[in-house]
Amino acid sequence: MTKSVIAIDGPAGAGKSTIAKMAAQKLGYIYIDTGAMYRAVAWRVLQEYTPPVSTEQIISVLDDIDIKLSYDENKNMRVETNGTDVSAAIRTPEVTALVSQVAAVSEVRTKMVELQRAMAKCGKVLMDGRDIGTCVLPNADLKIFLTASVEERANRRARQMKEKGYDIDVEEIKKDIIARDEADMNREISPLKKADDALLLDTTEMTIEEVLAAIVKMAQD
Ligand code: DC
């Protein structure tokens, strides 16, 4: 039976976005990158305030925030915040440094979860994030927890950042990943954790093609 709602969760740099986008394309599903939504909120906070920012300042941008995910003709995701294309701007180190703090605020999560559930209503969706299987879509037809060793995740992120023109040290990225894992796993609301009924996929020793094939098989089994 093909599953119509698929949830993929896992820590930073596990390859979720890359793999989820490819799997969604292969299966003909809509891909929803929920990390991009939290990043869009963090970007908006940085437009208004200079770090360090308070929880009140973060909450203040929620009133009139409008986040839209769409796809261009090459199936690349476009993220718009109040009409501005922020697809590239949400991937900067400044946004990355702030996003865990933003994602730990309950008002932010309530708003994002509401938007995500509304998006999932159209069926045939593949959503990735940290709390999709545990909180956003607890009734998903298939839940996958994608992970890899910290070293491998840091190497992958470093390669990705280099391709985008950033000259970043792998050790720095590793430190950032460990700090984000800590923050995401230990926050009070919807911490990152494998849902009891999620299938664990450790991709440390796997190629992208192997991971993709494994997920497509799980979706079609
Ligand atoms: O996957 P990513 O690196 O783009 O995610 C950005 C941040 O957003 C990450 O620190 C965790 C948070 N996040 C979350 O708390 N819940 C989600 N469903 C998705 C992302």
User: Which atom of ligand 1 is least distant from the CA of 104?
Assistant: 15
pLDDT of residue 107: 98
Q: Which residues of the chain have pLDDT under 70?
A: 1-2
Confirm if 27 and 126 have CB atoms less than 8 A apart.
yes
Q: Is the pTM of this model over 0.85?
A: yes
Ligand 1 lined by 13 (C-beta under 6 Å): no
| Cα 3 to ligand 1 centre (Å) | 24
Domain of 191: which CATH number? Answer: 3.40.50.300
The residue whose CA has the least distance to atom 4 of ligand 1 is 35
Ligand 1 lined by 103 (C-beta under 6 Å): yes
| Cα 39 to ligand 1 centre (Å) | 7
For residue range 108-152, list pLDDT tens digits in order.
999 999 999 999 998 899 999 999 999 999 999 999 999 999 999
Tokens coding 1: 């039976």
pLDDT of residue 95: 97
Residue tagged 């954790």 (tokens): 193
The number of domains in the chain is 1
151: containing domain = 5-220
User: What is the side-by-side strand order in the sheet with 142-147?
Assistant: 30-33, 125-129, 5-9, 142-147, 199-202
pLDDT of residue 122: 83
